[in-house]
Structure 1
Amino acid sequence: MKLTYFVTILPALVAAQEQEAKNVYGQPLQPCSSDGMALSGYTRSGYCVNKDDDLGSHHICIDVSSTSGGNFCKVTRQPDWCSSTMPCHEGSGLCPVQDWCVCQWAFASYIHNAGGCNHIQNIKCDAVNMHALEAYKRDGRYQEAYKCISQKCGLSSVQVEI
């Protein structure tokens, strides 16, 4: 009975979280993935939101297909899922991974290991969850990531009121 309840209520909880989530501009969070690309998000909803068991906090939306910067998978020494195909955002079949919600902690190391903010792949700012910016701001070890998102997304200290 409990499992049935959980499976029934989970989609509603994820949908509510998506509607309440804010992006780095303080606006409603936009989807990371879209038609023609693989369905992104830890919850595979297209949004960079998470559930309690998402220890990676997959809040940062980057275009892993962009040609600027180093390949996220290679730089972070992960298996090359960046060049793979997965179930499509809309419809059936497999689509290429393109705009993808990456772990905010891996993203911080990505910036450092790629040689700085100017050497990373494109960020989709309207789909970056404000929780990442909040976490980076709270912890001095992640100031490089905080500054990079602020720079890439055109945030001033006035706009980034957390």
Structure 2
Amino acid sequence: MLRSVQTKALNVLGEPLQDCSHTPLTGFFRDGCCNTSEDDLGSHTVCVSVSQAFLEFSRFRGNDLVTPIPEYNFPGLKPGDRWCLCAARWLEAHQNQRAPQVYLASTHQRATDIIPLTLLKEYALDLN
């Protein structure tokens, strides 16, 4: 049971957090956003565009995001899908040259507790 309540979320740019994906439905709360709370120990805060290189890296690290798991209503991911990724996993992928690109408007500000904003900006798909 989740103990904490979501608060009005801001993205890494200090603006209201935008949706990441409803198809597939993502987020710690499965609300389409990279919202987080004290219960989200993995900090599912980084909205990414999943790449093949990242999917292979994640599977190698023991987290198969490709295979559907119907009992959890998880369709499996394919390159190009948007997904709320754990901040530490994104950083690990970056350190191994496998980090996917990021949507800053949909990335929760708490991601910067783990990943420097300057680094996220290097991977931004939505930075003008």
Scaled to the shorter chain, the TM-score interval is: 0.7 to 0.9
| Bigger share in helix | 1
Question: Over the residues paired in the alignment, what is the CA RMSD in angstroms?
Answer: 2.9
Superposition TM-score, scaled by structure 2 size: 0.74
Q: Answer yes or no: is 1:74 the counterpart of 2:60.
A: no
Which secondary structure state, in structure 1, belongs to the residue aligned with residue 47 of structure 2? strand
Which secondary structure state, in structure 2, belongs to the residue aligned with residue 60 of structure 1? strand
Q: Which residue of 1 aligns with 2:32?
A: 46
Superposition TM-score, scaled by structure 1 size: 0.60
Structure 1: give runs of 5+ residues left out of the alignment: 1-5, 88-92, 137-141, 156-162
Structure 2: give runs of 5+ residues left out of the alignment: none
Which secondary structure state, in structure 2, belongs to the residue aligned with residue 59 of structure 1? strand
Alpha-carbon distance between aligned partners in 1 of 2:37 and 2:61, rounded to the nearest angstrom: 25
Query: Percent identity at matched positions?
Result: 26
1:38–1:85 CA contact under 8 A, matched in 2: no
Higher relative contact order (CA 8 A, sep 6+): 2
How many residue pairs were aligned? 120
Q: How does 1:48-127 map to 2 (within 5 A)?
A: 48-64=34-50, 66=51, 70-72=53-55, 74-75=57-58, 77-81=61-65, 83-85=66-68, 95-97=75-77, 98-114=81-97, 119-127=98-106
